[in-house]
Copies of this chain bind each other. A is one copy, B any other.
Amino acid sequence: MVTLSNEHESDTRQRLIEAAAGMFVEQGFNAAKVRDIVARAGANVAAVNYHFGSKEGLYAAVIQYHSAQAIEVLSQQAGDDRGRTPAARLRDYVRTFLQRLLTQTPQFTMSKLVAREMVEPTAAFGLIIEKFVWPQYHALQAIVRTIAGEKLSEELVRRCCLSIVGQCLYYQFARQVVACLDPGFGYGPADVERLAEHVVAFSLGGIHQSARTRTGEAQKSRSGHVNGR
């Protein structure tokens, strides 16, 4: 209620949101402790309950704050797809997806919060799915469909989409594992750029192969097109 159109608009409130966003991204909702958050914000313990009612309220405020920012960016990027090749659209999709997810920039905090919600859902899960996951998922579905040229069943389109986002999200979910299995990958802009190129190429090949293999007779696909023979 005090959120908008209030001339005072406490500075502590904003610092709490930013500090909490960092902690929630780095440690998740449950692992992030309010005493650590207020310490990072330079505020008192009671401040979170005073300004947001509860830890959950603070989390909701964090989501709402970065939501507005993220939706704004999302809307301005959409619409310039006309004339572009389907593969180029997939490239853009994967590249921006990975950049927002993996690079350290304090911008695009929302993408990391969404990823957190996937592995450790909170009360905001439904809202996150509706406002961010579904739209992006549908956009990816459209891209995959045009790439496959209507040769894919709806089920296989879903499978391909999940394969694509699964590849990307694994690098965020399992950072420590990636650091072990691929020590050369440093999550820098250049690394992310090359990763995006791989995911795009890999997924383009995967989509076309799925379109060839068809949906029904998965059982006897031993005699398919890409077998090592």
- Residues on A facing B (Cβ under 8 Å): 30-31, 85-88, 91, 118-119, 121, 125, 129, 133-134, 137, 146-147, 155-156, 158-163, 165-171, 173-174, 176-178, 180-182, 184, 193-195, 197-210, 212-213, 218-219, 221-222, 224, 226-229
- Number of copies of this kind of chain in the complex: 2
A170 contacts B165, C-beta separation under 8 Å: yes
Q: How far is the CA of A199 from the CA of B155 in the complex (A)?
A: 13
Q: Shortest beta-carbon distance, A211 to chain B, in Å? A: 9
A218 contacts B202, C-beta separation under 8 Å: no
Known: A85-B228, A86-B228, A201-B221. 20 other contacts (CB 8 A): A30-B31, A85-B229, A87-B226, A87-B229, A133-B180, A147-B228, A155-B184, A162-B181, A163-B202, A166-B167, A169-B170, A169-B173, A169-B174, A173-B173, A197-B221, A201-B218, A201-B226, A202-B210, A205-B210, A206-B209
Chain B residues near A121 (CB-CB < 8 A): 176
Q: How far is the CA of A194 from the CA of B153 in the complex (A)?
A: 13
Checking B88, B156, B199, B201 against A198 with a beta-carbon cut-off of 8 angstroms, the contacting residue is B156
B118 contacts A177, C-beta separation under 8 Å: yes
